[in-house]
Chain A
Amino acid sequence: MAAAAKSVFEPDYGDVDRGVLSVMAPPGIRYWLWVGFLAALVLVGGATWTNQVYRGLGVTGLTQPTMWAVYITNFVFWVGIAHSGTLISAILYLFRTRWRTAVYRCAETMTVFAVTTAGLFPIVHLGRPWFFYFLAPYPNERSLQPDFRSPLVWDFFAISTYLTISSLFLFMGLIPDLANAREASSGWRRKFYGLLSLGWHGTDEQWRNFSMAYLLMAGLATPLVLSVHSVVSFDFAMAQLPGWHSTIFPPYFVAGAIFSGCAMVLTLIIPLRKIMGVENLVTAWHLDNLAKIILLTSLIMSYSYACESFLVWYAKDPIELETFYMRYYGPQGWIFWLMIFCNCVIPLLLFSPRVRRSMVTLFIISLFVNVGMWSERFVIVEGSLAASFEPSQWRYWHASFTEVTITVASFGWFLMWFSLFARFMPIVSMTELKEGLGWLRQAIRDSYSRAA
C-alpha cells in the first residue's frame, strides 16, 4: 500500500523520465492513421491552392471591397495562437512561475507550428505568390527594395524573427531531454536523438552554460511577445479604415493573442495528457493556473471591446458609427454576438474553481474561446472592410470552397506537425519537471485531495 501511494503522490526522477519517455515509444496503427488523415487534409489544401494560383483569386470570395477576409483572419488567428507559447516559456520562466514546467514545452511547440502555419497565409492570399520574396531586402540588380513604410514589411521581419527565436528557444530547452531520450533508446532513434542532443552529457560546465544561455534567450524572447502581435495589429491600425484605425489595437491584440493561445494549449494538452497517459505529470493544478490566465485575459478582452465601442460612440464620427452599427446589427452581426458570447460570457465560468479543475468543462471552454477568437479576427478584418467609407460599395464576403478547404487544411497542417512532434520528441520537459519535483509532488497531492 505504502509503495503504491508513493508512486502516485511522490514521483521521483525515474518516474518523471519513465512517464515522458513512455510517450515516445514506437506508435501504433491508430496514431499513423491519424497522421495520415492530417497529411491527406494538407494534400487536399495544397491541391486547392494550386488551383487558386492557376485560375486566380476569382475562385475565392475575395473581391472589392473585401480583398482581405478569411486568409488574413487565419493569419492573425494563428499568429495569436503562437503567442502564449513564448509567454509561458519565456516570461513565466523569468518570473520563476512554478506551474509552467509541465505545460511550457507543449505551449512552445504549439508556438513554432502555429507561426509556421500563420506564415503560410500571407503567401496564400497573394495574387502573385511566386513573387513573395519581393518582401525580403535581398541584393538584386533590379533595384527592388521593400518599402519600409509598409506594415506588411514590418510583419515580414516580425514573424521571421519570432519564428527564429521561438524555434531556437524550443530546441535549446530540448537538448538535455534529447540526451535523456538518447540514453533510453536504441537503433536509429539513438542516433537521431544523439545527433540532436549535440553531445550533451550533463557536465557541470554544460549545465552552467545551458542555464545562462537559456536565461538570455528567455530575455531575448520576452519583448517579442509584446512586439509581434503589436506589429500585426499595425497592419490594421495604420490604415485609415473605420474599425481599424485605432490606437487601442496593439494592447488589445496582444491580450487577445495570449487569451487564444492559452485556450489552444488547453485544447491540445487536455486530450494529449489522457491519450499519452501523463496525467500525473500534467496535473489539474497546472491547468487550473492556465485557466486563470484565460480568465484574466478574457476580462481584458471584454474591457477592450467595451472601450472600442465607447470610443466610437464618443467620437461621433458618422462613418465609424455606421461601420460599428453594421458590425452589431448587419447581415453578419451574429458573428459579432457569437464572439461576445465565446470570449466574454463563457470564460466567466472560470471564476468557479470546480470548473477550472474539471477537464471536460475546461476543454469545452477552450473550444469556445478558439471559436470566439477566430470570429473576432474575422469581424475586425472582414467586417470593417465590408461596410466602410462608400455605402454603394458595401458588400459582404461569401464563403468559397477554396477558402474553406484551405482553412481546414491549415488546421490539418498544424496538427500534423504537432502530432509528429508530440510522439517523437519529449512533449513534457523532463529537465524542468525534475528541477521542480517538490512542486510537482505538491501539485499531485493537491489534485488528488481536491478530487477526493
Chain B
Amino acid sequence: MTRYAMVADLRRCVGCQTCTAACKVSNSTVRDIQWRWVLDIEAGEFPEVTRTFVPVGCQHCAEPPCVEVCPTGATGVRPDGIVFMNYDTCIGCGYCAVACPYQARYRLEGKGYAYATPMETERNGRSPLQLGTVSKCNFCSDKVDAGRKRGLVPGVDPEATPACVNSCIASALYFGDINDETSIVARLVRENETFRMHEELGTKPSFYYLWDKKQ
C-alpha cells in the first residue's frame, strides 16, 4: 500500500528558503501563508553556537488531530497518506488550524495578492471562492496524481514530485513511497538516524528528519 512521505536531511539543509519560494509560486499562496518554510534554530552558547535549518509544514500525519476535529469532514487522509483539504465543504471555523500541533494550517483571510494586481500563477491557482477556507501543504497532490496517471514515479520524476523537493538546491528534501523498500525515502530512513516531530503526541507524521545525534 502506497504511503507518501517526505524526508528532510538536516545535515544538508542550508536554510536558503528556495523550497519556501517554490511552494509559494507553485501553489499561489498569499502573503502570510506559507505551506513550507524553514526554521532557523540556534543552539549552544557563544562562541560554541550551531545553527540548524529545519524545513517544516504539514507533516501528513497518519493520525492527524486536524482531521478528527473538522466538523464538516472537509479534511481527511487519502489512502496514500496525503492529508487533503476539500475547499467546497470547509466552513472556515479554523478548528483544524488550532488543533494542529505543527501549526501548518492557514485560513485564507483576505482577497489580497502579493502585489497590487494578481500574478499569472495567482490568477490561475486560486479561486475567489476559497476566501475564508483553510489551506495547507498537500504534497502537491495534483502534480503527484497527474504524474502517476502518466506512469511517472513520484519522488523520482520531477513532473510527479512536490515543488519544494524539486527546487532544493542542497538535495536535502526527498519524496516517495515509504512502503516501497526500493524508494529513496525508505532507504534514507532505513540507513540513517531519524526523528519525527512531536512523536510523543501519537500523530505518526509522514515527515522524517535525518540527523546525526553526535553533531
Nearest CB of B to A230, in Å: 17
Q: Is the CB of A128 within 8 A of B65?
A: no
Interface residues of B, dominant DSSP? loop
Please judge, given known A-B contacts A127-B132, A153-B71, whether A56 and B108 are in contact too, CB under 8 Å. Answer: yes
Q: Is the CB of B91 within 8 A of A134?
A: yes
Contact mask for chain A residues 391-423; partner B; CB cutoff 8 A; 1 contact, 0 none: 011000000000000000000000000000000
Measured in the bound complex, the distance between the Cα atoms of B105 and A132 in whole Å is 20
Q: Is the CB of A68 within 8 A of B133?
A: no
Contact mask for chain B residues 171-200; partner A; CB cutoff 8 A; 1 contact, 0 none: 000000000000000000000000000100
Measured in the bound complex, the distance between the Cα atoms of B112 and A135 in whole Å is 29
In the complex, 22 of the A-B residue pairs with CB atoms within 8 angstroms, ordered by the A residue number, are A57-B107, A57-B132, A58-B109, A62-B109, A64-B103, A64-B106, A65-B97, A67-B94, A67-B98, A127-B108, A127-B133, A128-B131, A147-B72, A150-B71, A151-B95, A152-B93, A235-B95, A240-B65, A385-B98, A388-B103, A389-B103, A390-B56
| Chain A contact residues, CB within 8 Å of chain B | 55-60, 62-65, 67-68, 122, 125-129, 131-132, 134-135, 144-147, 149-153, 156, 235, 238-241, 385, 388-390, 392-393
Nearest CB of A to B37, in Å: 9
Measured in the bound complex, the distance between the Cα atoms of B134 and A52 in whole Å is 17
Nearest 9 pairs of A and B residues by beta carbon:
A127-B92, A127-B132, A58-B110, A67-B94, A152-B71, A58-B109, A150-B71, A128-B132, A57-B109
Measured in the bound complex, the distance between the Cα atoms of B112 and A240 in whole Å is 32
Which of the residues A58, A59, A62, A389 comes within 8 Å of B94, measured between beta carbons?
A62
Q: Is the CB of A389 within 8 A of B198?
A: yes
B111 at the interface (CB under 8 A from A): yes
Which of the residues B93, B103, B112 comes within 8 Å of A127, measured between beta carbons?
B93
Please judge, given known A-B contacts A56-B111, A64-B97, whether A239 and B91 are in contact too, CB under 8 Å. Answer: no
B120 at the interface (CB under 8 A from A): no
Measured in the bound complex, the distance between the Cα atoms of B197 and A204 in whole Å is 70
Nearest CB of B to A313, in Å: 19
Q: Is the CB of B69 within 8 A of A152?
A: yes
Q: Which of B20-77 contact A (CB under 8 A)?
A: 32, 39, 56, 65, 68-73
Q: Which residue of B lies closest to A319 (CB)?
A: B198
In the complex, what residues of A have CB within 8 A of residue B111's CB? 55-56
Q: Is the CB of B110 within 8 A of A146?
A: no
| Chain B contact residues, CB within 8 Å of chain A | 32, 39, 56, 65, 68-73, 89-95, 97-99, 101-103, 105-112, 131-134, 198, 201
Nearest CB of A to B42, in Å: 11
In the complex, what residues of A have CB within 8 A of residue B39's CB? 390, 392
Q: Is the CB of A240 within 8 A of B94?
A: no
Measured in the bound complex, the distance between the Cα atoms of B109 and A125 in whole Å is 11
Interface residues of A, dominant DSSP? loop
Q: Is the CB of A125 within 8 A of B93?
A: yes
Which of the residues A150, A235, A238 comes within 8 Å of B70, measured between beta carbons?
A150
Which of the residues B72, B92, B102, B107 comes within 8 Å of A135, measured between beta carbons?
B72
Measured in the bound complex, the distance between the Cα atoms of B72 and A123 in whole Å is 14
Q: Which residue of B lies closest to A71 (CB)?
A: B94
In the complex, what residues of A have CB within 8 A of residue B97's CB? 64-65, 67
Nearest CB of A to B81, in Å: 19
Measured in the bound complex, the distance between the Cα atoms of B109 and A127 in whole Å is 7
Nearest CB of B to A15, in Å: 52
Nearest CB of A to B67, in Å: 8
In the complex, what residues of B have CB within 8 A of residue A132's CB? 91
Q: Which residue of B lies closest to A395 (CB)?
A: B103
In the complex, what residues of A have CB within 8 A of residue B108's CB? 56, 127
Which of the residues B32, B91, B101, B109 comes within 8 Å of A241, measured between beta carbons?
B101
Q: Which residue of A lies closest to B95 (CB)?
A: A152
Nearest CB of B to A379, in Å: 15
Q: Is the CB of A146 within 8 A of B98?
A: no
In the complex, what residues of A have CB within 8 A of residue B131's CB? 56, 127-128
Q: Is the CB of B101 within 8 A of A150?
A: no
Please judge, given known A-B contacts A67-B107, A239-B65, whether A144 and B72 are in contact too, CB under 8 Å. Answer: yes
